[in-house]
Chain A
Amino acid sequence: MEVKSFKGGVHVPHSKGLTEAKETVVCSPPASVFISMRQHIGAPAKPVVAPKDSVKKGQLIGEAGGFVSANIHSSVSGTVKKIHTMKIMGLDTTVIQIDNDFEETWHESVKPRSGIDQLSGSDIKNLIMEAGIVGMGGAGFPLHVKLSPPENKPIDTFIVNGTECEPYLTCDHRLMLEESDQIIQGLLFMMKTVSVKKAYIGIEVNKPDAIEVMKNAAAPYDSIEVVPLAAKYPQGGEKQLIYACTKREVPSGGLPADIGVVVANVATTKAVADYVVMGQPVTERVCTVTGSGITTPKNLLIKVGTPLQHLIDECDGLTADSAKLIMGGPMMGNAVASASFPSTKTTGGLLILNLADAKIGETTACIKCGRCVTACPMGLQPVYISQYSLRDRMDLAEKYHPVDCIECGSCSFICPANRPLVHSIRVAKRHVMENRRKV
């Protein structure tokens, strides 16, 4: 089997054994859901319901706030309790609280669609926009925007991201095993929207069962090729995945569309099939609740807006020595202070580390070992960007191209001196980008 990859990167412990063999189970419905209007990159959605309104599952409750934005639908049937502002990860976020009536009544608009074979590419794209589908791999980029490249940039290749290179997480792995036909169906719809003839599904070789299942599901279609990829972090980084599959490099500062490629995660792809075929917008997703700080790790099918505490309870609670709560995986996920935050369309993982696993060694002097340079999948020199950033010499840091950093964290992971490399590079990157915006 030919295994493709990219240059650089690090070998991280996969830690997927806790959940990879566990089938997805439906999470018990929470008493209330808290649906954020900021679940995607771009403008927040605007609420279109008011307190005391009764709503049904799949009903539009937040309308896209612009082209780069996404619709948001209720994940339960029940009554709008209140609409308020919560501070989530430093951002003031409008949240619609809906009390669940536990009836699970679908909205009238949710019904199997007829005549799907007659849908044109632009019909499908409009449906995707209606459904509020965003990149469910974590970034939350509105899918219809990706599918609307400028006319001078023809797309010839579609790539589905099934790499799941983040340690611990198994939500995409399970989805590929359990919903392979829907993923292929969603991919065929998306290929139609940008009229491409070739698609790759990239999967890391540490998921041989998923490769097998997806190959079988894709077998009837010559246009779809399953690509086994080296189990190396960050294989699922968009630029790294494109390079591994096509040997094309997204130009610095550019987008995949610049080299004729669109990438979507497997969960995103499946969401397309859900809406086009069944009329179901994004109201739920698979989320891996795992780590040394949770009693019973599980893959759960969760409703958008479920409080994290509910997920913790569903997994029999925290262990006594639990110390860190991370939305997403350990490499790029965000640590959160409180379990009162709600899940979103992009919450593919909730990782809880115990005290021992959350411990990060003391930062010591840089010994110039160069491991960060070898590890950087973007060919940057993290040691120097970081050094200048920490000394607040952003003019010098800029010369080492912090804006090309994809913030994968490989440099910080590998650093034997435990230096805050990606953290300080992020600071330099923000600074440089802000300065450029001002000019």
Chain B
Amino acid sequence: MERFKVTSSPHIRDVDSVTRLMGDVLLALLPATALAVYLYGLRALLLIVVTVLAAVATEAVCQKLRKQTITINDLSAVVTGLLLALNLPAGAPLWMGALGSIFAIFIVKQVFGGLGENFMNPALAARVFLAVSYPKLMGQYFDPATDALSSATPLALLKEGQMSEMPSMFDSFLGTVSGSIGESSAAALLIGGLYLLFRKVITWEIPVLFIGTVFVGTFLLYGFDAQVALLAILSGGVFLGGFFMATDYATSPIHFNGRIVFALGAGLLTVLIRRFGAYPEGVMFAILLMNAFTPAIEKFTAPKIFGGAK
């Protein structure tokens, strides 16, 4: 009769697993991914496939070399690869996607200890790495309407003050404007973001406060024009960053108060970089900077212990 299994409590667990969470993120990115393929065709599809495969392969090779258990089944490398691909312009050569993935997984993730241990969002860091190393190639945006090269993204126009050239609110929301293949459609990203909120994969603090801060900040800095402020959040990486990148578990604070500080900081930095920096877009730099501040934020916003222990 002495055959019962003995483990310490609790004896039941929630059904969520890391693989399931990552799977949900992939599902949430499906509308934006599908739209990218629809708008940019085979070019985008190939870029996505190559970038994702490179990310997964890099993870497997790193773990194999270090004689660790290969954990590509947890889908986290797929998420990184897909996020990076969605951050690239349609004109990016395939090798650049692969190089970015190798950088993201090898340098940013595995060198720092793998899943959960990286201090910067791998996909965002890779985007910055590529933007700095290959500024010209990373600027090869296409206009989905004409399928021609077009560097005049809404944010570039905003930067140059060419308000009259800006796309309509409707086009910006739908995403039929030039930009990275997966970040221009606020609509598609919003659907995915709401799904993540509904599935409780992410909490509301970061997306709502980040996007809200960019809106308010733009309103204040660009002549109190609500229309411009609205265009500013519908353009560039605000929705992709707010729902999918700034919410990255490993690189954002683990508790509520910390997430609030993080989101406000990232929103504020985005507006400041867009307004005063050399680049038209500030989301990626803003989030990466806040990634670096995350340990400090966590320290100063630790939750209050019940019973008042200090």
Binding site for B on A (CB under 8 A): 7, 10, 12-13, 167, 239, 243, 249-254, 309, 323-326, 330-340, 351, 353, 357-358, 360-361, 364-370, 373-374, 376-381, 383, 401, 403-404, 407, 409, 412-418, 420, 422-423, 426
Apart from A370-B253, A373-B303, 7 more pairs, CB < 8 Å: A167-B12, A249-B308, A309-B1, A331-B10, A365-B71, A376-B303, A379-B305
CB-based contact B303/A379 at 8 Å: yes
Residues 242-284 of B at the A interface (beta carbon under 8 Å): 249-250, 253-256
A10 in contact with B1 (CB, 8 Å): no
Q: Which residues of A contact B308 (CB under 8 A)?
A: 249, 251-252
Q: A167-B12, A361-B13, A373-B255 are in contact. Are A335 and B5 (CB under 8 A)?
A: yes
Report how far A358 CA is from B11 CA in the complex, Å. Answer: 7
> How far apart sit A372 and B169, CA to CA, in the bound complex (Å)?
41
Does B18 contact A334, Cβ atoms closer than 8 Å? Answer: no
Which B residues lie within 8 Å of A422 (CB)? 8-10
In the complex, B160 has a CB within 8 A of chain A: no
Complex contact B305–A353 (CB within 8 A) = no
A sample of 28 inter-chain contacts (CB < 8 A) reads: A7-B306, A243-B306, A249-B308, A252-B307, A252-B308, A252-B309, A323-B4, A325-B4, A331-B12, A335-B5, A335-B7, A335-B9, A364-B17, A364-B74, A364-B115, A365-B114, A365-B115, A367-B250, A370-B249, A370-B254, A370-B255, A379-B306, A381-B255, A407-B9, A409-B10, A416-B17, A416-B20, A423-B8
Chain A minimum-CB-distance residue to B302: A381
Check if B6 is an interface residue, CB within 8 A of chain A. yes
Tell me the dominant secondary structure on chain A's binding face.
loop
Of chain A, the residue at the smallest CB distance from B118 is: A368
Count CB-based A-B contacts (< 8 Å): 160
Residues in B with CB closer than 8 Å to A420 are 8
* Cβ-neighbour of B4 out of A333, A335, A366, A416 (below 8 A): A335
Inside 8 A of A407's CB, which chain B residues have their CB? Answer: 9
Residues in A neighbouring B17, C-beta threshold 8 A: 361, 364, 416-418
Q: Does the CB pair A404–B306 fall under 8 Å?
A: yes
Interface size class of B (residues with CB under 8 A): 35 or more
Decide yes or no whether B45 CB sits under 8 A from chain A. no
Interface string of B105-135 (1 = CB under 8 A from A): 0000000001111000000000000000000
B165 contacts the other chain (CB 8 A): no
Interchain CB contact (< 8 A) of A353 among B2, B6, B11: B11
For the complex formed, measure the closest distance between the CB of A323 and the CB atoms of chain B, giving whole angstroms: 5
Provide the bound-state CA to CA distance between A239 and B20, in Å.
34
Smallest CB–CB gap between B309 and chain A, Å? 4
Residues of B within 8 A of A335 (CB): 4-9, 11
| Distance from A405 Cβ to chain B, minimum over Cβ atoms (Å) | 10
A324 to B12, Cβ gap below 8 A? no
B272 → A minimal CB distance (Å): 27
* Contact between chains at B10 and A412 (CB < 8 Å): yes
B200 CB to closest chain A CB (Å) equals: 9
Closest Cβ neighbor of B8 among chain A residues: A423
Given contacts A381-B254, A416-B20, contact A334 B116 (CB under 8 A): no
Contact assessment for A360 and B303 in the assembled complex, using a CB-CB cutoff below 8 Å: no
CB distance from B248 to the nearest CB of A (A): 9
- Determine how close the nearest CB of chain A comes to the CB of B86; give it in whole angstroms: 21
User: Contact partner of B5 among A12, A338, A358, A367, CB < 8 A?
Assistant: A358
The 10 closest A-B pairs by CB, nearest first: A370-B254, A409-B10, A252-B309, A252-B307, A325-B4, A416-B16, A330-B11, A369-B249, A330-B12, A367-B116
CB pair A366 B116 closer than 8 Å: yes
**Minimum Cβ distance to chain A for residue B96 (Å):** 28
Give the Cβ gap from B175 to chain A, nearest Cβ, in Å: 29
Interchain nearest-CB distance for A406 vs B (Å): 9
> In the complex, are the beta carbons of A360 and B7 less than 8 A apart?
yes
Complex CA distance for A382 and B18, rounded to whole angstroms: 18
Q: When the two chains form the complex, which single residue of B1, B255, B307 contacts A250, counting CB atoms closer than 8 Å? A: B307
For B294, give the chain A residue with the smallest CB separation: A368
Q: Mark B221-247, 1 if CB is under 8 A from A, else 0.
A: 000000000000000000000000000
